[in-house]
Each structure stands twice: as structure tokens, then as C-alpha cells.
Chain A
Amino acid sequence: MLSLTGIFVNYGHVAAVRGVSLEVNEGEVVGLIGPNGAGKTTLLSAIAGVIRPERGDIQLLGETLLGKAPEKIVPMGISLVPEGREIFGTLTVEENLRLGATIRRRDPEVAGDIESMMERFPILGKYRGTHAGALSGGEQQQLAIARALLANPKLLLLDEPSLGLAPKLVDQVFDIVGQLKEDGVTVLLVEQNARRTLEFADRTYVLRSGEIRLSGTKKELSSMDNADFEHAFLGFHRGERQGESR
């Protein structure tokens, strides 16, 4: 469905992403994990059209996304839930949701979809008339996801949805991701929370210093030796027993 081939992204003279190729198939939840500064967000930004890669190609269902502005990529079926939950704080929850359906102009089902989104995330229904900026972090994350889903995306890009959330809320966010997976939504999930991502994702790529160091299905990665996995993730061995990085 989505395929990246040999993507290079530079920030000035710094190479942030170096020759990354990856594949997301329909109905899959694909994880992309790696430490800080690995280039995960850069890669998502390139897919969403926010930044332009130096080299390589990004295709959605055989059509290239290169050179397209973000607002042109959304109608092609890709919705990004940006890092740090960029919701519109001074607008109400309901207005935020309506904006999520921006590209579905004159679609009579939008109103109904907004209602069912409020049933799916009850907290949003409860606070529909409230300023989105007044919601808590976890609630804002739900709003950001709901808003992205209202564009009826073929592929949902989630950028560190658990970032900065309390552990209980992290569970909640992963529950939502699990639910999306059951609903058959294709998801590319970027996370620092390696353990939880490995649990959820059908396949996971490990990105470090702008390169893919490791990839595999849930089964392959979970049967892997802990130390080898850590080496791929961190780039060095940290001794025998060390909890998974988060």
C-alpha cells in the first residue's frame, strides 16, 4: 500500500534519514521504533509532504507522493496525527472534528460520522462544546486521532501518540491503536515505547541514526535475543539484563 524506497532526507548538511526503504501493507499495523533523533518523525513528515526528501520515492497504491503539498496528500488517503497533538486549542472539540472532515466536502455522512466518533471516544462527546485546549493530554490525543480518522484515511500515520502521557493514559492510547487494528485501519505507528509497539504491531522496523537496523514480524522480533535487539536499537550492548528501552 505504502512503499518507501531509498529515502534520503537532509537538514542542511546533516543527513537525518539515509536510504530508508519500508513497506506497509493494507490492514497492517506497522511499528517504527528507535531512539531520539533516529529520524522517525522526519520520515513521517516526508510521507505527509511536510518536508521533501533529497532522494528516493514514496508511493501510495502505486502513485508517487513526492512534490505534493500536505493538503494534497490528505485527499489521497493519508492522515497524520502529528507529534505533540496539534489540535486547534481555541476551537471547540466539535469544530476540531468538523475540520477533520475538511476534505469530505458535501459528504452527507460527515455529521453521522462525527456523532459515531463521539460514541467511540465518549470523552469527546461529553466535551463537544468545550475548547479543545482545555482538554487533558490524553483527551487531546484522542481528539487528534478522531480528527485524523474523520478524513476516512486509507493509512493513518501516528507520531509518538504516547509521548508525554502518564502511564495509564499510555495504556489507553495503545488500546485505541488496538481497536483501530481490529477495525481494519492500516496504521504506521512511530514510537519510542519499543515494548508496547512490539506487542501491537504486526511488523516493526527499528530505525537508528537514519537507517533501518532491524525489521521483522512480531514473532521474529519477540523470539530474538534481547541483547541483539538492544544492540540494534541502541547501537551498543548494555550488559546482560536490562529492561526494554522505552
Chain B
Amino acid sequence: MKHSNSPLLSWIGRRVWPLVALIVPLGAIALFGGTGSIVFQREVTTMMMYMVVVVGYYIFVGNSGVTSFGHISFMIIGAYTAALLTLTVQQKIILLPDLPSFLADVHFGFVGGALLGAVVAAVFAAVIALPINRLTGISLSLAMFAILLTVNVIVSHWTSVTRGVTSMFGVPQSTTLGSAFVFASITIVAAWMFQWTRVGLRMRAAREDEPAARAVGISIPRDRAIAFILSGFFVGLGGALFAQFLGAFNSDTFYISTTLLTIAMLVIGGFKSLSGAVVGTVFVSALDAGLRRMEDGFALGPLEVGSRPGLSAVGLALCMLLVLVFRSEGLTGSREIPSLWRLRRNETPPADTLPAPATDRKDVS
């Protein structure tokens, strides 16, 4: 490939191209999904919504390097908010007679429900952001898990607003394959742009070397709190889309198994890169859908395989184990898509294509 010295071309190569390389194949999957059966369409739509959740989750985890076991609490908040706002006033009189009037008398469309779901989740994230981000490492992971448990308990018992453990139903099923794809793309663009802001840069520095980051004056909790709120917004958006896709759900729909599935997506793809989040979501969604079909029993030539409940869970766990053992940085090696152009010789090696430092790399490339 020809060298490029122009700053504009170099900028396109490094900043625009990796984004195009992620979104265009995703668009192709969406188009392909649209031609398939209803079941397949639903599977692809589900994948696109998980994309919103996982990329949103990545915004915090990938940039900070700290895992959170409780991000699904934002999804719960987004889902219930969207449901309460998109149910019609008449439906709410029947389903939720005791709803406070400021919720009972309002009605929003699909986009309004989705965005307000995201905003409410982000507000919740903002409330807990500073205390949570004073913690680091496993303390933060577990504190977030405690938040998830708390949110779940509140949602299960706040019957007048959430219908508790009985289903919330009748939510207009307005999330389509196309709209899910659009929101997934927006989320990916937002995550990519965030990575290149000053806050994103400081977070990557702190992720790599905390003492050195503090020695240049980086205030780690504050930066992490910003990513946390943004992350809460998009995970909440994902929840709002799910609510308007499923139509009916209850307090256990988005809980431990969703937490595990989304963590698996991010870890299997490679949690320190956006490409990892995207690739992981596609890969795990495909695997999960495939295994689910096999759970009902299938025929392999003359061989009849009976029903195998739990196959998808086992398959997912196995896949995660294999990745952790053999490719601890995930399928993408936690690297971004390399620049489109090779940089000039005296600028090699280009930063984006270099492997992570030897200390945290166990795979052999």
C-alpha cells in the first residue's frame, strides 16, 4: 500500500477507517438478517440490542480496566422507564392503577421512550458515580453487584410502579431490526469518539499505569465517573430498546444471566478494545442462537440428537474458558482495527497496531 503523509489521510486511516470497518459489516448483517425468517430476524435484532448494551458496558470497563458486575442495573432502569413511558394512558389505568400521576398521564413514542430510558439510567449512574468510583478493582466490581441486587429487589417489590415479579406487558413492540441497528451504530460511534477525547486518553493512561498517571496529575475517580455516566446512558438505552422489543418482561428478565451473557460477550471479544466489544457481541450472539436451536434436539444425518436443555449456557461457559486460557486478551487481542495506511518508515510502528506490552499478553501471535 502507498504511503500517506497527509495528516488528513492519516486521520482518516486511524480515526475513521476502524469505525467504518466495524459498522459496515454490522450493516451487512442487518441487511442479511432482514431477508431471513422471523426467528432469524428476531435473533439479529436481539444481537443489535446487545450491541448497544455491551458497547455501553465497554465504555466504562474497557477504558477504566475495572470490571463492573452490576451494569445490568442500568438496563433494568432503562427498560422500566421506557415501558412506563410508552404504555398508553388507558393501559396504565388497567395495569398500574396506583401509578403516580406524573407517570400515569404521560405517553411517549418509541424514540422518546428509548432516549428517556437512557437519560434516567444516566441520572441514576450520575448519582452513584462518585462514591462508586472512589473504589477500585474488585471492590468496585462487587459494589456494582450489590447495586444490581438492590435495584432488582426494589423493582421486584415496588408493585405500584413496576408490577413487581408479575410481568409488565403490553409495551408497544416498536424496536425493529433497522432501528436496533441504527442505535447500535450510534453507540459504537459514541464509544469510539469518547476514546479519543482527553478523558478517554487519560483513562487509557491510568488503565496502563496508575502510579504514573497520578504522577502527571490525573484524577482517576473523576475521569472514571464521566465514563461511568456515559456508560450508564447507553446500557440504559439498550434496556429501553429491549423493553420495546419484548413487549412483556418482569424483574428477573434482566438480571444475573444477562449480566453473565454481556460479560461473556465483552471478555470473549477482548475487553480493552471497541473492536473486541463488537466482535464479541456478534460471535457470542451467533453461538448462543446456534446452541439454542440445538437445545430442542436436532438431526445430524442419521444421528438423532434429543433435547439438550442448558446446552447454550454450557457452550458459552466453555467458550469463555477457552478464550481465557488461550487468548486472555480476547478474540481481537484487545486491539483496534489497524490504520488503513502504513505510516512512513520513521513513524513505524504505528501505535494502533502494536501488540499490548508483553507483561499482560499471554497469547502467541
Interface, chain A (partner B; CB < 8 A)? 48, 50, 69-71, 74-75, 79-80, 82, 86-92, 95, 98-100, 102-103, 126-131, 133-134, 147-148, 151
Contacts and interface: CB of A to CB of B under 8 A. Distances in A.
Interface in B133-181: none
B346 A126 contact: yes
B31 interface: no
A92 B201 CA distance: 11
A73 B47 CA distance: 47
B346 A127 contact: yes
Contacts of B226: none
Nearest to A129: B347
B343 A133 contact: no
A71 B220 CA distance: 9
B295 interface: no
A232 B318 CA distance: 63
Given A74-B216, A91-B208, A134-B349, A102 B357 contact: no
Nearest to B353: A131
A126 B208 CA distance: 24
A98 B218 contact: no
Interface string B192-217: 00000010011011001101111111
B325 interface: no
8 contacts: A71-B217, A71-B219, A74-B216, A82-B211, A87-B212, A99-B213, A129-B350, A130-B350
B347 A90 contact: no
Interface of B: 10, 198, 201-202, 204-205, 208-209, 211-220, 343, 346-351, 354, 356-357
Contacts of B209: 86, 88
A130 B351 contact: yes
Given A48-B215, A70-B214, A71-B217, A88 B347 contact: no
Nearest to A104: B217
A90 B357 contact: yes
Given A90-B356, A129-B343, A129-B350, A82 B212 contact: yes
B208 A131 contact: no
Given A88-B205, A88-B209, A71 B357 contact: no
Contact of A82 (B205, B215, B346): B215
A80 B357 CA distance: 23
Contacts of A69: 214
Contacts, number: 93
Nearest to A74: B217
Contacts of A126: 346
B219 A89 contact: no
B216 A147 contact: yes
Nearest to B348: A130
Contacts of B217: 70-71, 74-75, 102-103, 151
Contacts of B213: 88, 99
A68 to B, nearest CB: 11
A99 B213 CA distance: 8
B215 A131 contact: no
B214 A91 contact: no
Given A95-B201, A134-B349, A102 B354 contact: no
B347 A127 contact: yes
Contacts of A100: 216
B130 to A, nearest CB: 15
A70 B217 CA distance: 7
A82 B209 CA distance: 12
Contact of B215 (A86, A92, A133): A86
Given A88-B209, A98-B201, A99-B201, A74 B354 contact: no
Nearest to A157: B215
B218 A102 contact: yes
Nearest to A98: B201
A133 B354 contact: yes
Contacts of A80: 215
B211 A50 contact: yes
B339 to A, nearest CB: 10
A45 to B, nearest CB: 9
A90 B208 contact: yes
B215 A74 contact: yes
Given A50-B211, A74-B215, A103-B217, A130 B202 contact: no
A91 to B, nearest CB: 6
A129 B220 CA distance: 25
Contact of B351 (A82, A86, A129, A151): A129
Contacts of A148: 216
Given A91-B351, A92-B351, A133 B357 contact: yes
B3 to A, nearest CB: 13
A109 B10 CA distance: 25
Contacts of B211: 50, 70, 82, 86
Contacts of B198: 98
A91 B215 contact: no
A128 B343 CA distance: 12
Given A70-B214, A74-B215, A91 B204 contact: yes
Nearest to A95: B201
Nearest to A88: B205
B351 A131 contact: yes
